Every structure is written in structure tokens, then in C-alpha cells.
Structure 1
Amino acid sequence: MAGAGRRSARSRASSSRDDDDTKPNLRPPRGRGRNHTSIGIFNVDLRVLLGLSVIAFFAILFLIYNLINPIEQAQTPRVVTPFPAPKLMDLPQFQGEHKESLYWGTYRPNVYLGIRARAPRSLIAGLMWISIKDGRYVMRHVCQDSDELSKYGWEQHDGRNFGHQVIVDQDMNLATSFLKSKGEDSGYGGDWAVRLYVQNHKSKGYEELSSSAHLFFYLADEDGNALNIGGDTLGIHENSLLASGSRMDIGSWQLHLKSLDDLEVHYAGFKTPHVHNLSDLVQENLGLQVRKFGRLQLPDTSDDSPNILVFQISARTPFRTDVAFISGTGLESPRLEERVGSHTGSSLTSQLKEKQREFDAKFEKSFNLVDKLDSESIVAGKAAIGNLLGGIGYFFGQSKIAISGNMNPGNHDDSILYWPAELYTAVPSRPFFPRGFLWDEGFHQLLVWRWDIHISLDIIGHWLDLMNIDGWIPREQILGAEALSKVPSDYVVQIPTNGNPPALLLALNDLVHGVKINKFTAAETDAISSFLERAFVRLEAWFQWFNTTQSGKEVGSYYWHGRDHTTTRELNPKTLTSGLDDYPRASHPSEDERHVDLRCWMLLAADCMHSIAELFEKENKSGKEYGNKVKLLSDFEILNQMHYDDAYGTYLDFGNHTEKVRLVWKETTVGHNYATRELVREVLESPKLGLVPHIGPVSLFPFIARIIPADSRILEKQLDLISNRSILWTKFGLRSLAKTSSLYMKYNTEHDAPYWRGPIWMNMNYMILSSLHHYSGVDGPYREKARTIYEDLRGNLIRNVVQNYHKNGFFREQYDQRNGKGKGARVFNGWTSLVLLIMAEAYPS
């Protein structure tokens, strides 16, 4: 997964005019006498001239406005012009109580614990702590693999009001719980509380660490509003107030700290607009204290009018402390102490236990796993949905977009900013990909809608509102300083001719089908229907963008645009837009290509649009066009003519291809001084147009799309292909490229290790498993064969993911096809969470 985007300054035309140039001349004409007639004529002329002057004045204003604004608009490229339709997030269902209920949350997935509001400039909170690595103190704050934590992640999270996370850092076990509530006196969005519980286990070499711990809880105001230090922060038992302040959105607020343990609390205040590098500020401050005074503690000093307050909480372990954020009216009333008490101590304990029970009950109702799976699988299943919901974030900023015609993602000079936009979305991985990815989100929503339809619609609505006037959606969203800090500059620029699989339609298709069969409550049906009715025009534009910009030469053919046909360093030019990155396509990209996976994505899109049109009885021209498109793309004979290879017994891409390609070392001279070696591509024979002989998930897309008739011999061949241990099958799941492929596990460049060239990916396995489940329930000669393969593959996937989770503490981006070990990004709580739907046997409609 990678992204793109760029920046340029826009100049505004300006116009100024001397006042004398615009003043009408109201003096009477020369040579006129002052008789009655002339006075009467003057009065009439004066009224006329006054009227004309008013008209002229407004005409000039109109001209000035058009000189400034329309010219600026005309100079704004279409690519950064929003889609001209009412926004989905302006629907009444996303306002009022719904919007307020989701205001606060753990919406900063890039840090181990981060809280913010769903607002562009928010009051944010978070947690840091000190650990020891290689004999040195280090600060933990931002999720990163180099921290080498044994475990972290949300074991339970309801996406709204509650979450429980366990972090294991060497000998320290840190449990964090989040609770949100809304009372009569609460400010907008309600109050929230965080419980921190630290335990240490003594082991050789860590006696000092296991005797004490240093936590740092902070508040920062992105708007720059001053935060006030509370009372006697060192005497926490006498005065629990840490900080206070006020904001336009929530009113007055206070932050309190309560604990029955003996704590030492220190603080520091900072004034800076840069919140994303807060851990650097704290480390520098602590380092200064150590150098000056030899103590590892904050100085109990603050900048003037600080917008960041950091509180160091130190104590011998084990210890527990509660942090309560109280907002709204009545902060000076006698009820304040009662409100603080309800968010701390025994009251908080009771509420957290109740929320845990509610989570467990909702989990069972949503996925119905009891008596179907063992307890270890259920624990992993809860972590799958908990981590996905706990990884939902809120982002605000501007994407960087390549100006049309410049397709070099490394060139940041020729780019422009998208409009300022917000995005509420799940993320694939907190340490590696803590931002929005378009095609990932479609798989995420297959889980989320089954848990909370309203959250799912909210997320999909945010994505569709990012659509520009042409129907294009940037495929990777890198919004705001925190998100940008995690992305190499070469991957920031978004290219407006490039797409990404419209996987959001997987979830929308499910919702449409559910409405048709009366699966939902009346309130849910109303919410889905009103959403789809407003979304229809955007979905039409999205469909047409794909249908025109990604079409091939043959009617009904498509290919992923954006492949680099000039590269001399890639063994096989990547197809990042397909989502399958280095999965091998035609060796020489050209306009003659036909990609079978994109054809099937277009069938899904057309079918979804046709279903929505039927739902609203849109028997108009567009509705019929979608029906005709479904017939064309599901035509079995045409599909076979374009993509089927009888020798391989499967479907293949078509393009300009040769297998005689390799990477070789070549010496080049740099200047007149020295020679260097680089790995470059060497083509040993001319490519020819034809089917591309690489087998993998792409080959199975017609099977995934269920185009193949249940009685076709081709279906049998697909089943044989899936279950062949020499091609795709392993006891851990299906490979992402056939073992027989010439590019199986081959590096694509000197440093690009194989990605979609062998390892097991959960999203594709889930889609294949879904169709196995479908064909196992359809009458036909291969029904039992499909059932046997389905049960074996399902068991292999569940067993391997669950074992890896309990052994290593994480879900992983992919799994090794040779030994089943997790690899790629750790804490990959995106589509690997689909293992829960596999457990529940819940598949797309």
C-alpha cells in the first residue's frame, strides 16, 4: 500500500481602484441658467444619475468579485474541485445525538493511547511512559515496531464509549481502559475517564524498573487555547484537580487525577503549535533535568499560557490511577465532586465491568460463536473486532495531489492541495499504516456494519464525501501532521488518474441486500435507505470514473492505469492501484492490457448500482444501463474469450508479455571518479500480446464473483486449482502467487522483497472462502467438493491466525506460506480481522 500527493501555492488575483475613478459627476452642465425649468430638469437628472450611480456601483462590485473569485475558481484544477452534490455527512441521521455520541473517542490510533474529539482542531489527550532499552531510558508514545513491545492492542472496544487495552513492555504490564458518559450537566460530547493500571514482574537485570514506573499523561489544545494548571498537583490526595480550561465546543472543563496509591506527580507546560512531536518536547525537558539536577522528573514549571500540559505520574508498582475529564456546566457546584467520583474509584470499576459484560453480550449476538469454536478462538475473535474498532481514527487536513500530466510521485514541486477535509475511518495498522486506505476500508466495513450500522454508514459517508467533481477518490488519505509524520515523502502524492478497488461496495451491497430481505430494524432500514438515496449520485459518478478512465480497448475490458512502462529497475512493473502491488502482470505495460480482477470489480459495482436503483424503483435510463452492464460483465462466454486459458484451467490477465526477463547487475560510471553497480532489468526476448501465465488470487476473481455456473467443468478446474498443494494450497491458507510461477517469491528490485508473490493474505482468502461457501450451497455436481475444500481452508485459516495471535500477541499483515508465521506489519488489525467473519461464517451477499 502506498500513496501520493503534492503541494503548490495558489495566488489570488487582486484588484484596486482609485476612488475618483468610480465617483459619478453630479455637477450640472455648463451654460445652464438657474431658472425654474433648469432646476426642475436638474432634479430629474439628479435622480436618474443617482440611480445610475447605484447601478454602476454594484456593477463595479460585481466586476471586482468576478475578477477575484471566478478567476481563482477557473484557475483551480478540476481535480481539487469537490463533487457538486449535498454531502452525505450533512444528512440529519449524522447530526444531533448521533454526532454528539461520537464526539470523543480513542481517535488517535498512531499512539498507544490517544483521545481526541471529532473536530478539526481538538483538545487531545494521550499517554507516554519510560522504558529501558539497551541500558538506556526511552520514551514510549507513538506506536512503532522498533519499540519491540511484546503485546499491545484493544482486547475489547465498542467503537463508542468503552475500550480495554493491554500493553506488555518488557517486565511492565500496562492496562488502559477508556470510558465515556453523558450526564445532565456534561458539556457537548460528555465526560470521559481513563484508568491506568501498572504491574511489573521482576526478572534478572530489571529490579530497578520493576520497582517503579513513570507515566506521562498529557492534554494539548490544537487551537492554541491556554490550559490552566490545577491546584496542589504534588498533594494529589488533597486536591485532585490537574488542569482546567475552556473551549467554544464543550465549554468549561477540568481534568482530575484520583488514586488510592502513593503517587508523585510533576508537570511541565509548553506553548507550541506543533503537537505531533510532543514526545520530543518531553524527552528534551527530562534530559535537561537529568543533566542539571540528576533527577528523572518534570520541573514543575510552565511556559506562559501553555497549550500543552504534561503530568508525570511516578509510583512503585503495582499501582492504579484514574484520570477524569469533566466538562460543561456546574463545575463550581457541589455536584462536581460527585461527578468526579462517578468517573473514578469503585464507581469507575463497576462501570467498566458492566461495559465489559455489554461488549461480550453484543459480540455473541453479532457473531454467534458460542458452542462453535474453542475459547482461544473466541478470545482472538474479540481482539479482532476490538482492535479494528479501537483503531478507528479521526483526521483532518489536505491531501497532496499530482497535477494532471505529471505522474512522477517523487516530484513534489508539481502538485496541489486538495480541499481541507475530515475523515473518520478505521486504519489497517496502528504502527505502520495509521491512516485511511480506500480499498482496505471496504473490507473493514464488512466487520463494522455487523457491529454498528450507524458507525459504518458514518465512515462510508466520510469516504464518499472526499469525491471530486470527476468522481475520483484519493486512494490513500494522509491528513494532518500526525499522519504525515508516518509517511515517507515519496509516498505522499496522490495521482488523479489512478484508482483503487471500489471495495466499499462490498459493504454497501450487503446493506442493500439486507434491506431487501427485511434483515434490519425499521430505524436501521430508514438510515440505510436515506443514506443510499443521497449517495446514489456519488456512487454513479464513482462508477463512471472507473468505467471511463480504466476501460480497455475491447468492450467490457478494463485495466489498472498507473503502471510504469519506462522502469528499468523493476522485474515486473508494480500495479499499486490494484491493491495487489507486485503481483505479476504483463511484463510490458500497455493500453492493450486486460485485467481480470478489475473486470470483476466492475461487475460488483454495476450489480450494486443496479440493486440500489431497484430498491428505489429507479427504472430510468441509468438503472437499465447498470442492468445491461451486469449482463455484459457476467456473460460467461465473453469472459472466457477474453481471459480463460484451457491449458492452465483458469483465468489470466492479457497483455504484452514475455517470461524472459531478469534482473542483472550493471556497472555505471559516476562522473570521472568511480564506478557503481546497480540492479537493472534485462529483457531477453521481445514481448508478445497474449494471456499472462501467472496464477494467483487474480485468476480466481471470476470464481470470487460467482460468474462460473455451478455445473460448469471450469468450476471443477477452479476447485482443483485451489486445492492443489503444488500451486496455491498450504495448510495455513492459500498462497498469493502459485508456487509454479516464474516470479514466485522473487524480489522485484534489489530491495523490494516479494509482497504479493507467495505470502498468505487474509482478504483474498476470505473472498475465495466466501465463494467456496456459496458453491457448497448451490445444487451442482461439485457441491460436495466445494464443501470439503471450504471446511479444510476455513479450519486452516482460523487455526493459524489464532495460534499466531496467542503465541506472539498480534495479528499480522500476512502469513508465511511455508511455516504459517506472521510477517509484514505487526498489529495489522485491518483485513486480517476478517478471521472473525470466517469464524462466524459471515460472507458478502
Structure 2
Amino acid sequence: MPPKPMPPKHASRPPASRQAQRWAKDLKLIGAAAALVAAFLLGSAFLSPRSHRVSSSAPKRPQSASPPTAPVPIALAGGTLSRFTAEHNASLLWGTYRPGVYFGMRSRTAPTALVAGLMWTRARPDGGVDATTLRHQCEQDGLERYGFTAHDGRGFGSQPIVDRANGVHLTTTFVATPAGGGGGGGGGGGSSPGGWAVRISGEPIAGAAPKQHLFLYLSLDTEFAPRLSRGAALGKLEVLSFQPEEGVHVGGQVEEVGRFSLLAAARTQGGDPLPLRAWGSAARHHSHLNVAELVAEQLPPQQPQQQQQQHDSRLDLNGLVPSRSRLLVLQLRTSGEPFEIDATLIGGGCGAGGAVGDEECGALLARWSGGALSAEIRSRTDAFHARLASTFGLDEQREGGALRLGGSPLGEREKGFAAAALAAQLGSLGFFSCKSGVPSSDRLSSSSPRLVPLL
């Protein structure tokens, strides 16, 4: 019998279409890996503090053919590492470490302490809150734009929010205030351990419903609040003499942060004061995780047309704040004109029992609100764009001329896109603290895991 012919070597190869699919899949994986590496390198290059670069003052040795000697270890002076750690932690004490919401604040070095956030919605025809368009978590459709366009990764960030469904254009900005309250990133010699300043400005979009409801809230972390040290709570305190008209003073004490005061005020673009209503809850499971549902429950349903009034206080939060609240919400109802809210967190606390005297608290409020805060925001915005251009050489003249994209020099539009791409990456960082546990085998089938949003 003649031998059976052997199949050609290429008979076991997959068809060309399958081979192409495999190549395409491999290219996608390679592209994704390259994108991750590029993002990491960009962020690392921008975040590396220039003050931490170490240069040697020793003269350079001439090149030699002999093999190099082993490097000599550098002995750190006592306390150097601990001082660096303390400074590093202080620079990350507060930030926008809540990527799950449109705007929020929390601590990196004290993650179980205090959480702040923003919600907003349009007003109903009767002036009440339209809960169907309440914005809080980054999960709703209809926002034309949100995301940071300037963020230095540590102490400053600004983002525009365009919400046509609610008819408002918001700008949220935060500035981390240094210990002592001084400007420019340095200490001011005061007794305050540092905090933050937040500005929320808004204006109605032409042709849309102009009236808005905004909610700025503070919350103790619900997972750890039941086990916090003595006196951990929030409360509404007496307004201080140096606060503007219609201002609000919120005080509290939490572990790892200590005492603090939040001084908030709202005004129109023309400078007229706007009232802020408040509501608080001491219930154990009331926190930032369910604040949207809690606020909706506190507000009345829509009134019949014949009962609608121009401004009915019954449509706002009731103003009741328990002395040991875990959640505290401030509400602003706008009348259709541009507005601003300034909220300044002062570490150490102001007023009776606070560690910061009235004179220093007044100076800190003046430094981190109003016109002084506007100037600080402009300065930090300019510094962010200048460092971006310097770090990545956006304005450098190269051998073939200026840096070009698609044959054309980089314009303001391209530089703005680069700034937004980096700022969105830095502003989307989140830090979460939790306890892990492994359930026993007899509980695995009978219980399902409890899902908690990363807020």
C-alpha cells in the first residue's frame, strides 16, 4: 500500500480571518498597556515634587576604564525621614479624593474622618426641589460637561460643569490651605493645622429654568463613625461676629483631625447675601452614602397650583440640627441670578472651645474667601498651566521649530486639551479605607456580599 501523503505544513494554521482577529486582539492589548504606561509616566513626571530632587555637590570623577566601585550608602540624619513623611502627609491631608461624585472632598491621611460633597437640582414650578434631576453621583446622563480642567494633584483643582437638564453652569474650585493659614503653600505661623477652601459658583443657562437648589454637606464616615473617639460629631454653632450676613458656622470634632469649623456664606454676583438653610441627622446610618435619599425625604412633595407661593420656607430644609449630628446639609435656593458659595474649613476650630482665636479665625476667613480667594484661584490656575508647559515643553522651541501637532504649532485649544487630560487623571484619584473579612464556608451560600459604593 502506498504511504499516506502527509498534509502540508500550513494545513494546521488557522484561517487568515482568524489569524487577523488574533493579531487585532494582541494589538489592542499592547495599545492598552502602552496607554497605561504613558498615563503613569505623565502623572509621575507632573507630580514629582521639585523640592524632593536631590543633586550631589561633589565634583564629577573623570571616566576610567577600571570597574566602578560599589555605591556608598547615604546615612539619613535622625528624624529626616520622619520629617519628610510628616510633610508629605500634610500635603495630602485634604483633596478631591472622591471620584464617584461630581464634586467632593475627603482626607488622604485621615480617610475615616470627614467627608464633604455637593448636590444640586432645578426648582419645580412651585419652587420645591425636583428630585428627578438631583445630581450627586457620577452616574446620570444629560451632563454636557464635567471634569477637572486644572488640578495640581495636591492642593488645587477647578472644574466646569454644564448641566443643561437643570439649566445651570457651575464651576467648583478647591484650595488646600496650609498649616497656619498662610498663602503660597507655606505656613503662616498661626495655630490652625490647615484645612481647605471651596468655591461653588453658578449661573443659569440662557433659555433654561433659572432657579436652582444646591446642597453642600458634611458627613462622618459611616463605616467608622460608630467607633470614633469621644466627642466625634457635627453641629451648627453660633455665627461669629466677623462672618458675613446670612453666614453659617458649622463645628465638629473627629479623630485624626481634631476640632474644626466650617464657615460658609452665599451671595449674588452683585454681593447681596443669600440665606443658607440647614438640616442635620444624628442617626447612625445617615451619611454621605445615602444623603440624596435623606434630603429628598425631608422636603415636601409638589404643592397644588393654587397653593404655590413666591418663596415658601416650607419648601426648604427645616433647619433642625441635632447637637451630635453625623450628617449636616446646607441648602441654597437661588432666584435665577449668578451666585457664589464660599466654604472655608479651619482646622482647630473657631469660637468657644476652639483652638484658634477669633482674631486669627477672622484673618483666615478673610484670606480664604471673597476677593482674596478669587486672587488665589487665579494665581494657582496660572501656576498649573505654567508648570504643565514647563514640564512637558509645550512652549519650547525645538530644532525644527515649535512643538507641532499634525503639522501645526500647538495652539491654546491643544494646550487646553492637554491640561484637561492631565487634570482629569489627577482629579480622579481616590483613596478608600476599609476592613476585609473572609466569611465562613457555611455563610457563603446563605448570604450575599453587601455592596458599598466607592464614595
Asked if these proteins are the same fold (TM beyond 0.5), I'd say yes
Matching residue within 159, 164, 169 for 2:163: 169
Shift of 1:149: 0.6
Residues 1:330 and 1:93: Cα distance change in structure 2 (over 3 Å): closer
Matching residue within 133, 138, 141 for 2:136: 141
SS in 2 for 1:130: strand
Matched to 2:326, the amino acid is N
The question of 1:199 aligning with 2:203 is answered yes
Residues 1:157 and 1:238: Cα distance change in structure 2 (over 3 Å): same
Shift of 1:415: 9.7
SS in 2 for 1:396: coil
Shift of 1:143: 1.0
Matched to 1:296, the amino acid is L
Shift of 1:220: 1.0
Matched to 2:281, the amino acid is F
Residues 1:385 and 1:314: Cα distance change in structure 2 (over 3 Å): same
Matching residue within 106, 109, 113 for 1:122: 113
Give the match for residue 263 of structure 2. Answer: 256
Shift of 1:296: 2.8
Give the match for residue 273 of structure 1. Answer: 285
Give the match for residue 217 of structure 1. Answer: 216
- After superposition, give the CA deviation of every residue in 1:119-172 in whole Å (9 maximum; x if it has no partner): 24111111111137999543111111x341111010000110000010011131
Which structure dedicates a bigger proportion of its chain to helix?
A: 1
Give the match for residue 378 of structure 1. Answer: 415
Matched to 2:202, the amino acid is V
C-alpha distance in 1 between matches for 2:381 and 2:361 = 27
Q: Is the 8 A contact 2:146 2:159 kept in 1?
A: yes
Give the match for residue 382 of structure 2. Answer: 357
C-alpha distance in 2 between matches for 1:289 and 1:267 = 20
Matched to 1:128, the amino acid is M
Give the match for residue 337 of structure 1. Answer: 362
SS in 2 for 1:302: coil
Sequence identity (%): 31
Point out which structure has higher relative CO (alpha carbons under 8 A, 6+ apart). Answer: 2
Matching residue within 230, 247, 254 for 1:247: 254
C-alpha distance in 1 between matches for 2:134 and 2:251 = 26
- After superposition, give the CA deviation of every residue in 1:686-721 in whole Å (9 maximum; x if it has no partner): xxxxxxxxxxxxxxxxxxxxxxxxxxxxxxxxxxxx
Give the match for residue 185 of structure 1. Answer: 190
Residues 1:403 and 1:251: Cα distance change in structure 2 (over 3 Å): closer
Give the match for residue 564 of structure 1. Answer: none
The question of 1:237 aligning with 2:244 is answered yes
The question of 1:326 aligning with 2:346 is answered yes
Matched to 1:153, the amino acid is G
TM-score scaled by length of structure 2: 0.63
Shift of 1:302: 2.7
Matched to 1:243, the amino acid is V
Give the match for residue 151 of structure 1. Answer: 145
Instruction: Give the paired residue count.
Output: 320
SS in 1 for 2:202: strand
Shift of 1:202: 2.5
C-alpha distance in 1 between matches for 2:154 and 2:205 = 33
Give the match for residue 286 of structure 1. Answer: 299
Worse overlay, 351-360 or 127-136: 127-136
Q: Is the 8 A contact 1:106 1:116 kept in 2?
A: yes
C-alpha distance in 1 between matches for 2:446 and 2:346 = 47
Matches within 5 A, 1:287-436: 287=300, 295-303=314-322, 305-316=324-335, 317-328=337-348, 330-370=355-395, 371-372=402-403, 373-398=410-435, 413=445
Give the match for residue 452 of structure 2. Answer: 481
Matched to 1:302, the amino acid is V
Matched to 1:121, the amino acid is T
Gaps of 5+ in 1: 1-90, 405-410, 418-477, 486-845
- After superposition, give the CA deviation of every residue in 1:751-796 in whole Å (9 maximum; x if it has no partner): xxxxxxxxxxxxxxxxxxxxxxxxxxxxxxxxxxxxxxxxxxxxxx
Matched to 1:226, the amino acid is A
C-alpha distance in 2 between matches for 1:347 and 1:200 = 25
Matched to 1:266, the amino acid is R
SS in 2 for 1:255: strand
Shift of 1:278: 1.0
Residues 1:416 and 1:97: Cα distance change in structure 2 (over 3 Å): farther
Residues 1:366 and 1:163: Cα distance change in structure 2 (over 3 Å): same
Higher Cα radius of gyration: 1
C-alpha distance in 1 between matches for 2:313 and 2:264 = 27
Shift of 1:238: 3.1
Shift of 1:313: 1.4
Worse overlay, 118-127 or 337-346: 118-127
SS in 2 for 1:185: coil
TM-score scaled by length of structure 1: 0.35
Matches within 5 A, 1:34-73: none
Residues 1:304 and 1:98: Cα distance change in structure 2 (over 3 Å): closer
Q: Is the 8 A contact 2:235 2:322 kept in 1?
A: no
SS in 1 for 2:356: coil
Gaps of 5+ in 2: 1-80, 181-188, 227-231, 349-353, 396-401, 404-409
Matching residue within 74, 84, 97 for 1:107: 97
Matched to 1:216, the amino acid is F
Shift of 1:362: 1.1
Which structure dedicates a bigger proportion of its chain to strand?
A: 2
C-alpha distance in 1 between matches for 2:124 and 2:276 = 24
C-alpha distance in 1 between matches for 2:87 and 2:313 = 52
Residues 1:261 and 1:236: Cα distance change in structure 2 (over 3 Å): farther
Q: Is the 8 A contact 1:403 1:414 kept in 2?
A: no
Shift of 1:358: 1.0
Residues 1:288 and 1:123: Cα distance change in structure 2 (over 3 Å): farther
- After superposition, give the CA deviation of every residue in 1:723-763 in whole Å (9 maximum; x if it has no partner): xxxxxxxxxxxxxxxxxxxxxxxxxxxxxxxxxxxxxxxxx
Residues 1:103 and 1:318: Cα distance change in structure 2 (over 3 Å): same
C-alpha distance in 1 between matches for 2:343 and 2:144 = 26
Matches within 5 A, 1:5-20: none
Residues 1:367 and 1:181: Cα distance change in structure 2 (over 3 Å): same
Shift of 1:261: 3.1
Shift of 1:226: 2.1
Q: Is the 8 A contact 1:140 1:147 kept in 2?
A: no
C-alpha distance in 1 between matches for 2:172 and 2:362 = 23
The question of 1:95 aligning with 2:109 is answered no
SS in 1 for 2:143: coil
Residues 1:140 and 1:236: Cα distance change in structure 2 (over 3 Å): farther
Q: Is the 8 A contact 1:187 1:251 kept in 2?
A: no
Residues 1:294 and 1:300: Cα distance change in structure 2 (over 3 Å): closer
Residues 1:348 and 1:314: Cα distance change in structure 2 (over 3 Å): same
Residues 1:379 and 1:296: Cα distance change in structure 2 (over 3 Å): same
